[in-house]
Amino acid sequence: MSGPAKYVQPLPTLEERWLVPADLAAPTLCLRRVSPLGGRPVLLVHGLSAQSNTFEINQRPGGDLARALVARGATVWLLDYRGSSRPAVLARLRPAAAADPGAFCGRAAAEHDIGRAVREVVEASPGFDRVDVVAHCVGAGLTALALSLDPSLPIGGLVLGTLGLFYRAPLVRQVVIDSHLAEYFAADVTEPWLDPWRDWRASTRAYRRLDAAEAVWRRIGVGALLPRPEGTEHFLRLSFIFGEPYRPARMPALDADRATIAAAFGPLSTPLMRDIAAWQRAGHAIACHHPGADAFELDAAPFVERDVTLITGRHNRLWHPDSMRTMHGWLLDHGADPRRLRHWVVPGYGHQDLLWAPTAGRDVYPLIERGLGWAPGAVAW
């Protein structure tokens, strides 16, 4: 085996369902089942500008999380929602975004995508009234937001990777975020169809300033240095805006293999990114661009009632470990039972390597499995 296929080993798709989110008219969500029905349903939710195959990648070929869960006997469902870069999903998102850009944002993705997918999986799993969810990065943030907005979501065990409701960025990136550079660069280099906010930007003072700045930047030639949006450079752009999603030192092989990166990271969803930037500035998920944003209060109760596992890497440079610490303290404050709320800051790990590192099967996956109620050690790694 060679090339990206060495690291991305898609499991056979046993079933694929295209779903219509509640706020859109066309099917844009894709649920993919990769193991037989009958086991405990587990839904895997990927991060921003990644796709569901992020759970099928590992530097130890075949050592990925999806396979680990399948080996445990779980019925694993992989979700591509509107933060996905999967080409088939993008093809469907394009017209939907063009038709209603206003709905195409973070809160919409949380309310309408995650919720829809969770209920669909429960419906498709006879004998189960709840689904366990393992979510990573922005997918985890959106899942947490979805649960906070709708405590009745039939989620059982919940494993949140690197993000919850609180967004704490490393200092260096905070500068990028505070100065609105993230939105600026994202918008600048993204295909127009993914920037349905051009008009809105033009009408906003901050963005008019940015537009003026853009002209200056172009004149002094900095624009030429900006990464271009094709190929693996989506990944470069992500790195530029957010910092590298993994520690290169840990993952040399994958790092060298740009095609794998290209297969995992695609174009950005600009409105989603705009909301995430706003959430970072606020420090927590907010109902930005929605009516009643001021009165918006996040609800801890649905988390307190469930088994929740928070996992991040000590060296996470994408989302500071304090994102999870803050969530942990908030849940304890609201009465979470320490025996049902687990919090792991894994030494030696960063962000993406929590899923992709060759040692993740030894160090990280058991923590996820334990969060879902499996006893440790049943499967040898």
Partner 1 sequence: MSRTDGQSFDAIVIGSGFGGAVATCRLAQAGLRVCLLERGRRFGAGDFPRPPMPSAYPDERSGAGLSWAVDRGLYDIRSLGAMQVVQAAGFGGGSLVYASVHMRAPLDAFEARGDAPGWPTDGPDAITHDTLDGWYRLAAHMLDAKPAPTAWAKSKHLAAWADAEGRGGHVFAPNLAVNFEGSATVEIHDPGETSAPPGRSHGFVSGRTNARGRPQGRCVGCGHCDLGCRYHAKNTLDLNYLAAAADAGATIRTEAEVTGVARGGERFEVTWTDHRFGRARRASADAVFVCAGAVNTTELLLRSWAELTGEAPDAERRDHPGGRFGGNGDSIGVVFDTDEPVDAGLGPTITSALLYHRPPTEARDLDGGWLMVQDGGLPTALLPLLDLLGYRLPRADGAPLDGLGWLRALVEPLSAGVQATLPATVRDLRARLDRERVAWTERGAVLATDSLVARRGWLEPGRFAVDWLARESLAGLTAPDRIGALVGSLLGGFDGAADRRAILLAMGRDRADLRLELDARGHLVALARPHDDHRLYQLQERLMNDLARAAGGALRVNPLWGMLRRPITVHPHGGCPMGSALAAEVRAGVRPDGVVDRYGEVYAAPGLYVLDAAAFPAAIGANPSATILALAERNIERFIRRVGSARGDALAEWRAPEYAAAQREAPEEPLFAVEERLAAEPSPPPRHDPIGVAFTERLEGYFAAADAPDRSAFATDPPVDACLDAERRGLAGGAAHRLGLELDCATPDLEAMLASRAHTLSVTGWAEVGDGRYAVTGTMSVLVPVDTSTRALVYDLRYEAPDGEHTLYGRKVIRDDPGLDAIVDLSTAFCVRRTPRGAELGVLRVHLSDFIDLQLPSIRVTGGAPRASEAPDDARLVADAWYLSRFARFFLGGVLQIYGGRLGEALAAGGAGLVGLMHPGARRPTHGPGSERAR
Residues making contact with partner 1 (CB under 8 A) = 166, 170-172, 175, 247, 282-284, 297-301, 314-315, 317, 320, 322, 325-326, 328-330, 332-335, 338-348, 362-364, 366-367, 376
| Cβ–Cβ < 8 Å for 143, 121 | no
Specify the residue, 71 or 175, whose C-beta has the smaller distance to partner 1: 175
| Cβ–Cβ < 8 Å for 165, 75 | no
- Residue 61: partners with Cβ closer than 8 Å, 6 or more residues away: 1, 6, 7, 9
- Smallest gap from residue 285 Cβ to partner 1 (A): 10
Looking at residue 105, the DSSP 8-state letter turns out to be S
| Terminal-to-terminal C-alpha distance of the chain | 22
Specify the residue, 101 or 243, whose C-beta has the smaller distance to partner 1: 243
- Smallest gap from residue 177 Cβ to partner 1 (A): 14
Specify the residue, 95 or 283, whose C-beta has the smaller distance to partner 1: 283
- Smallest gap from residue 9 Cβ to partner 1 (A): 24
Distance, in Å, from the CA atom of 284 to the CA atom of 80, rounded to the nearest integer, reads: 24
Q: Which two tokens stand for residue 170?
A: 């490393």
Q: For the CA atoms of 135, 285, 228, 195, what is the dihedral angle to 10 degrees?
A: 110
Distance, in Å, from the CA atom of 164 to the CA atom of 174, rounded to the nearest integer, reads: 18
Distance, in Å, from the CA atom of 309 to the CA atom of 267, rounded to the nearest integer, reads: 30
- Residue 91: partners with Cβ closer than 8 Å, 6 or more residues away: none
Distance, in Å, from the CA atom of 273 to the CA atom of 269, rounded to the nearest integer, reads: 6
Specify the residue, 175 or 253, whose C-beta has the smaller distance to partner 1: 175
The gap from C-alpha 370 to its chain's centroid, in whole angstroms, comes to 21
> To which H or E segment does residue 263 belong?
helix 258-264
Specify the residue, 266 or 350, whose C-beta has the smaller distance to partner 1: 350
The amino acid at residue 125 is S
**Closest by Cα among 375, 356, 186, 174 to 280:** 174
- Smallest gap from residue 362 Cβ to partner 1 (A): 6
Specify the residue, 97 or 182, whose C-beta has the smaller distance to partner 1: 182
- Smallest gap from residue 369 Cβ to partner 1 (A): 12
Q: Which two tokens stand for residue 289?
A: 């661009």
Specify the residue, 1 or 171, whose C-beta has the smaller distance to partner 1: 171
Looking at residue 205, the DSSP 8-state letter turns out to be H
Q: Between vectors from CA 45 to CA 201 and to CA 229, what angle results, nearest 5°?
A: 40
- Smallest gap from residue 67 Cβ to partner 1 (A): 19
- Smallest gap from residue 336 Cβ to partner 1 (A): 9
Residue in the block written with tokens 């994408």: 318
| Cβ–Cβ < 8 Å for 194, 97 | yes
Specify the residue, 191 or 337, whose C-beta has the smaller distance to partner 1: 337
Specify the residue, 276 or 327, whose C-beta has the smaller distance to partner 1: 327
Specify the residue, 257 or 322, whose C-beta has the smaller distance to partner 1: 322
| Cβ–Cβ < 8 Å for 264, 8 | yes
- Smallest gap from residue 231 Cβ to partner 1 (A): 27
Burial classification of residue 375, based on how many CB atoms lie within 10 Å of its CB (0-12 exposed, 13-18 middle, 19 or more buried): exposed
- Smallest gap from residue 300 Cβ to partner 1 (A): 6
- Smallest gap from residue 319 Cβ to partner 1 (A): 11
